[in-house]
Amino acid sequence: MAVKAMSPKEVAKKVMNNEELFILDVRNVDAFEDWKVEGHTFEYLNIPYFDLLDGVEEILEKLPKDKDVLVVCAKEGSSVMVAEMLSDEGLDVSYLEGGMKAWSEHLEPVKVGDLTDGGELYQFVRLGKGCLSYMVVSNGEAAVVDATRMTDIFINFAKDKNAEITNVFDTHLHADHISGGRKIAEATNATYWLPPKDAEEVTFEYAALEDGNKVAIGNSTIDINALYSPGHTIGSTSFVIDEKYLLSGDILFVDSIGRPDLAGKAEDWVADLRESLYKRYKNLSMELTVLPAHFMIIDELNEDGTVGEKLGTLFAKNHGLNIEDEEEFRKLVSENLPPQPNAYQEIRETNMGKITPDDEKQREMEIGPNRCAVR
């Protein structure tokens, strides 16, 4: 039988549609345990490629006959070889096209909802990295928030919507992934907005994103209202869109809260984080739908594929929003930090414009899971 390639988009559809998939991951055990292709109903078997060089006979009975089997490796090559060995044994299997590198880069656009006067809000779900980007479309104009470095998808999506990208925002200076904001702005002649307190070391021109800024998109009454909310970074800024949605950046997630240590200022910024969450956010409408810049686990996806939850629900259920004692809050934040993101210092310098790694280097810098939250 011919060995088939399964594209990242096909895998993403299985995730979004809650379909079953059996994954044979042939990377090393530590790589698999750190980061894998996640799905609500996916099953896994991790056997390193080197253990299969002498044949696949010993694992045949461990593979299901009634489910799609996908072989996964880092870059594709090893998974193709294992898939061919399994095919020679009579199994119908596929391999992940482009491996985990390609999976890390796939973005799945999902409509969040309608806005005033015919506007729309879209969320771009980066399933392999846990990143979430956004696009507001209204009357022929578009704004992008927290774009990834895969910029073509945003530019082409806007074209498909017959919209011109006029504004690009980053809620903060990112440390876990390379921003595509500046690149999109340069390609479309859009205005690139960045919080000035996060931009003291940047090497390029930008529009200062400050508390109370209102940016209208299209000819409608939609506006993007900036809300200063430091804590993850000193400049972190949230957005209230159309009085319906709260784009929280990396301050508040569905299942956790943002970490304050990625610029080496954890002790200084814990108080800012608490004030943003417990005072600034507390004064907002509890009916706002919180749309974060990241998610941690696949269970945070809603049935329609979006990641988001009402602010009132999060104040009721998110543990990070329910710690009355300030010292206990400080302890929770400082003692429950996951490992630093891969190459986070280089990523910050790239986002400042200080260094310009080539495309392959950028891919390597981003490999691995999202680690922006307190555990």
Cite the active site residues: 73
**Burial status of residue 51 (CB atoms within 10 A of its CB: 0-12, 13-18, 19 or more):** exposed
Cα(250)–Cα(247) distance, integer angstroms: 9
The phi and psi torsions of 132 (rounded to 5 degrees) equal: -130, 125
Written as six digits, the tokens of 162 are: 């017959």
DSSP for 202-234 reads -SS--EE--TT-EEE-TTSS-EEEEEE--SSST
Q: Which residues of 265-284 are buried (b: 16+ CB within 10 A; e: fewer)?
A: ebeebbebbbebbbebbeeb
* Beta strands across the sheet bearing 223-228: 214-216, 223-228, 237-241, 245-249, 289-292, 309-310
* Residue 216 amino acid letter: A
Q: How many CA atoms lie within 13 A of 172 on its CB side?
A: 30
Q: Are strands 289-292 and 309-310 parallel, antiparallel or unpaired?
A: antiparallel
Q: How many CA atoms lie within 13 A of 210 on its CB side?
A: 5
Cα(13)–Cα(300) distance, integer angstroms: 16
The phi and psi torsions of 30 (rounded to 5 degrees) equal: -65, -35
